[in-house]
Amino acid sequence: MKEKKPIPITCQICGRTVSRSELMPAEAVRNSIAELIRKRHSNWSRTGYICLTDLNRFRAEYIEDLLEAEKGEFSSLEAEVVDSLKQHEFLSSNINVEFEKALTLGERLADKIASFGGSWTFILTFGAVLVVWIGINSVMLLRKPFDPFPFILLNLVLSCLAAIQAPIIMMSQNRLESRDRLRSENDYQINLKAELEIRQLHEKLDHLLSHQWQRLIEIQQVQIDLMEEVAKRSGSGTES
Ligand SMILES: [Zn+2]
């Protein structure tokens, strides 16, 4: 045996005196774990030793802390997303229904008249009325027509109708325009929200990529430490 004199070494944490192979120099302990130990034991020094039982306990605790922190971070991130969704509510709403609700009776009537005035039904009916009017007054010409040949009364009726129809159509057109404007505003809002959501998704992905990888690597390093120890010990076991 080339080993030095078996100086009794004690573990800093539990104070037990154990064999050299059961101890780990404090210097060899990973920084992040050493910090955790320092938090628990203020008299922890970098020059002493720690027994493997204690070291493994702290390693497990460290990994547990890591996982817990991650869980907390994630739930807070999720809460943020839910919060923002709650605040924005649903931006998309049926503009047509809301617009229709806000219409007054006169406006609704104007819309109906305008849509009727622009239909084939109106043109055909009106044509029929004209033909009947002219026909009646032509046939009754010999007796006593109520609107004789140049049809002056028909002229008056027609110009009155045109005079009324023009502003009604304009009213309806104005309303169509304002409805279109509302719709485009709504579209803009929805697009904006979608953009924000996508940005949030990006942030979430970035978080996953950067933070989680870091954590995983840290956990893996601790595991590698453990494996190295196991390998060393099984190696020394076969030697002796
Ligand atoms: Zn110990």
What CATH number is given to the structural domain containing 25?
Answer: 3.40.1800
Between CA 11 and CA 217 the distance in angstroms is 29
> pLDDT for 151-203, tens place per residue?
899 999 999 999 999 999 898 899 889 889 888 888 888 888 888 888 888 88
C-alpha distances (whole Å) from 185 to each of 100, 178, 180, 188 are: 17, 11, 9, 5
**167 and 107 within one domain:** yes
Going from the Cα of 181 to the center of ligand 1, the distance in angstroms, rounded, reads 75
Q: How many Cβ atoms from other residues are within 10 Å of residue 200's Cβ? A: 15
Going from the Cα of 105 to the center of ligand 1, the distance in angstroms, rounded, reads 88
Please, what is the angle between helix 105-117 and helix 120-139, to 10°? 70
Which residue range forms the structural domain that includes residue 197? 90-209
Number of domains in the chain: 2
Q: Phi and psi for 23 in degrees, rounded to 5?
A: -115, 155
Going from the Cα of 24 to the center of ligand 1, the distance in angstroms, rounded, reads 10
Asked whether residue 28 is assigned to any structural domain, the reply reads yes
Which region, left, alpha or beta, applies to residue 89 given φ > 0 means left and ψ of -120 to 50 means alpha?
left
Going from the Cα of 29 to the center of ligand 1, the distance in angstroms, rounded, reads 14
**198 and 96 within one domain:** yes
Going from the Cα of 221 to the center of ligand 1, the distance in angstroms, rounded, reads 22
Going from the Cα of 240 to the center of ligand 1, the distance in angstroms, rounded, reads 25
Beta strand residue intervals within 26-166, DSSP E:
49-51
The complex's ipTM works out to 0.91
Contact at 8 Å (CB) between 49 and 25? yes
> pLDDT for 37-84, tens place per residue?
888 888 888 888 888 888 888 888 888 888 888 777 767 767 776 676
